Amino acid sequence: MSKVVEISPTTRHEGHSKLTLKVNDQGIIETGNWCSITPVRGVEKLAVGKTPEQVPKIASRVCGICPIAHNLAGTEAMEASIKCEIPRDALLLRHILQLANRCHSIALHDILILPDFYIPGTETKINPFTAEEPVRTVAKRIQRLREISQTIGQIAGGDCIHPRNTRIGGMYRNVSEQAKTKMYDLAKEGLVLSHAQSEFMIAVIRNYHKRDFVDVGGMKVPMPKDLGFHDQGYLATHSFYGSSSLDECPSWDIRRFKEARPWDWYMGEMEISLEEPRYPIGGTTKMGTKVNPQMEACTGIPMYDGQPVEVGPRARLVTYKNFDEKGTQGQNIAREMEYQDCFYEMIDCLDELNTSGKVVADYIPDGDGSLGWASNEAPRGTDVHIARVKDWKVQYFSMLVPTTWNFATCSKALTGAPWQLAEVIMRGYDPCVSCATHMIVVDEANKVVAQKLIQ
């Protein structure tokens, strides 16, 4: 007889989401639903009628963690619509900014997942805030990596949180030779630290997944060897940066994309029949509570070729670097492997950057209403922005953010795992839920049927 258990809210990630799980007598998940419960926002509607300069800035405000990815994807979607090609040096600066953001994000994710893992060879779970070794050294290294990334981002982007150097047509300013040298020095320091950090992380991740049992809130939970496996496929548009051209990037074709309604996808109304007060941070939802993921979910279900797909570090590594590890373990390892690659790529970009080169396009058209799209490989995966600009006014704007893709894919990946490990699977996706909230739903005839979920 199936029972229903719910973990709400989920912790150690950005935004509000919950896991509603139908489990069998052994506590193994039969059907898992992971959904966003952040209320609906209307950034797409707000963008209409604004100038192309304003919209990327609006887009970057939907989330506290990934403003850089949204800013870049938004700006490039506008440029794709007005058909403006930016100078090479501007693109390099954007690329450096984006890589710096990713390095910071990986470091942040390390802190968030570390409490799940053990110090190898012991039964002690890692507390990243402890003053004791060996964790102290790791925590200090993470902080230094974050600092390095943010400083590089600040130099390239003009500001480390909401970059102000980006503009339609390129960048406002190139950097000075001294600034370039400083970024170079920081990237070299970051490279050494990222090597050490990813080695440490990969060791603790492997150690965790090799265990027969792991501890969750005092419960001894068997660790399946296929934790987080799914067969949904992957989507990545570039190994590092992104693209706005189908020639350059045939793997993302807007015509192969469709979005389903949450009520066609998630489970309907149910009653909680399993409660576990020992579950970390306040226990699971009380017995007898009515839940309805269909109506509570705040996101549509994006599909590529009719199926939800995975986006993120593993998708990039599978698509471009023949990576073949599956499941939550593979996902976390892929993220760590991107660490050094980011710094290597950053150093390559800096080598190529000409600080006396121009960074603004000579001619910035007003736009003729063509549809333009840009994908940006954000830390969490492919962030696609779609825009239509005519006479320097935005006529249409839409955002397809990484975690929206992953909601449905991760829900599938939950099947077969002990319910106590559902959050571990979810954290593998490094979810950023608040920006995933997006609600434009089209039906089979591509007509908009719901702009807002009725709650």
Partner 1 sequence: MLYPEIVIAGCGNPLFADDGFGPAVIEEMEKLSLPDNVMVVDAGLGGPHFIFTLLDPEVTKKLVIVDIADYGAEPGSITKLRVEDLPPGAYRDAHSWDLTEPLQRIKDRVDVTVIGCQPAKVTAPEFEIGLSDEVQGAIPKAIRVILETIGVDYGTTINLQEEGRQRGTAETCSSKDR
Residue 143 found at the interface with partner 1 (CB under 8 A) = yes
* Cα distance between residue 69 and residue 53, in whole Å: 16
Residue 417 found at the interface with partner 1 (CB under 8 A) = no
Provide, rounded to whole angstroms, the least separation between the CB of residue 81 and partner 1. Answer: 16
Provide, rounded to whole angstroms, the least separation between the CB of residue 222 and partner 1. Answer: 25
Provide, rounded to whole angstroms, the least separation between the CB of residue 164 and partner 1. Answer: 5
Provide, rounded to whole angstroms, the least separation between the CB of residue 147 and partner 1. Answer: 5
Residue 196 found at the interface with partner 1 (CB under 8 A) = no
* Cα distance between residue 211 and residue 398, in whole Å: 44
- Residues 63-102, interacting with partner 1 (CB under 8 A): 63-65, 67
Q: Are 17 and 431 in contact (CB under 8 A)?
A: yes
Residue 61 found at the interface with partner 1 (CB under 8 A) = yes
Q: Give the strand order in the sheet containing 3-7.
A: 3-7, 17-23, 29-36
Pick the piece of the chain touching partner 1 (CB under 8 A) from 83-91, 156-164, 222-230, 330-338.
Answer: 156-164
Amino acid 124 reads: T
* Cα distance between residue 60 and residue 42, in whole Å: 13
The continuous run of DSSP H or E covering 331 comes out as helix 327-352
Residue 160 found at the interface with partner 1 (CB under 8 A) = yes
Provide, rounded to whole angstroms, the least separation between the CB of residue 90 and partner 1. Answer: 15
Single residue of 28, 118, 147, 184 touching partner 1 by CB under 8 A:
147
Q: Which residue has the tokens 């509607």?
A: 45
Single residue of 31, 88, 111, 249 touching partner 1 by CB under 8 A:
111
Provide, rounded to whole angstroms, the least separation between the CB of residue 160 and partner 1. Answer: 7
DSSP letter (8 states) at residue 48: T
* Cα distance between residue 19 and residue 5, in whole Å: 8
Amino acid 314 reads: R
x-or-dash string of contact with partner 1, 328-367, rule CB under 8 A = ----------------------------------------
Residue 167 found at the interface with partner 1 (CB under 8 A) = yes
Name which of 134 and 282 has its Cβ closer to partner 1: 282
- Residues 33-52, interacting with partner 1 (CB under 8 A): 38-43, 45-46, 51
- Residues 12-31, interacting with partner 1 (CB under 8 A): 12-15
Provide, rounded to whole angstroms, the least separation between the CB of residue 300 and partner 1. Answer: 16
**CA gyration radius for the chain?**
22
Q: Give the strand order in the sheet containing 381-390.
A: 242-243, 368-378, 381-390, 393-400
* Cα distance between residue 177 and residue 168, in whole Å: 24
Pick the piece of the chain touching partner 1 (CB under 8 A) from 32-40, 253-261, 304-312, 397-405.
Answer: 32-40
Pick the piece of the chain touching partner 1 (CB under 8 A) from 91-99, 108-116, 255-263, 270-278.
Answer: 108-116
3-class DSSP state of 96: helix
Q: Are 164 and 158 in contact (CB under 8 A)?
A: yes
Name which of 24 and 181 has its Cβ closer to partner 1: 181
How many other C-beta atoms can be found within 10 angstroms of the C-beta atom of residue 44?
18
- How many angstroms separate the most distant Cα atoms in the chain? 70
Residue 135 found at the interface with partner 1 (CB under 8 A) = no
Single residue of 57, 102, 180, 209 touching partner 1 by CB under 8 A:
57
Q: Which of 25, 38, 31 is nearest to 410 (CA)?
A: 31
3-class DSSP state of 18: strand
Provide, rounded to whole angstroms, the least separation between the CB of residue 41 and partner 1. Answer: 6
Residue 159 found at the interface with partner 1 (CB under 8 A) = yes
Q: Which of 83, 402, 99, 67 is nearest to 241 (CA)?
A: 99
Name which of 96 and 309 has its Cβ closer to partner 1: 96
CA dist list (Å): 18 to 93, 216, 296, 362, 392: 38, 18, 10, 49, 41
Binding site for partner 1 (CB under 8 A): 11-15, 38-43, 45-46, 51, 53-54, 57-58, 60-65, 67, 108, 111-112, 115, 129, 143, 146-147, 150-151, 154, 158-162, 164-165, 167, 172, 281, 392, 434
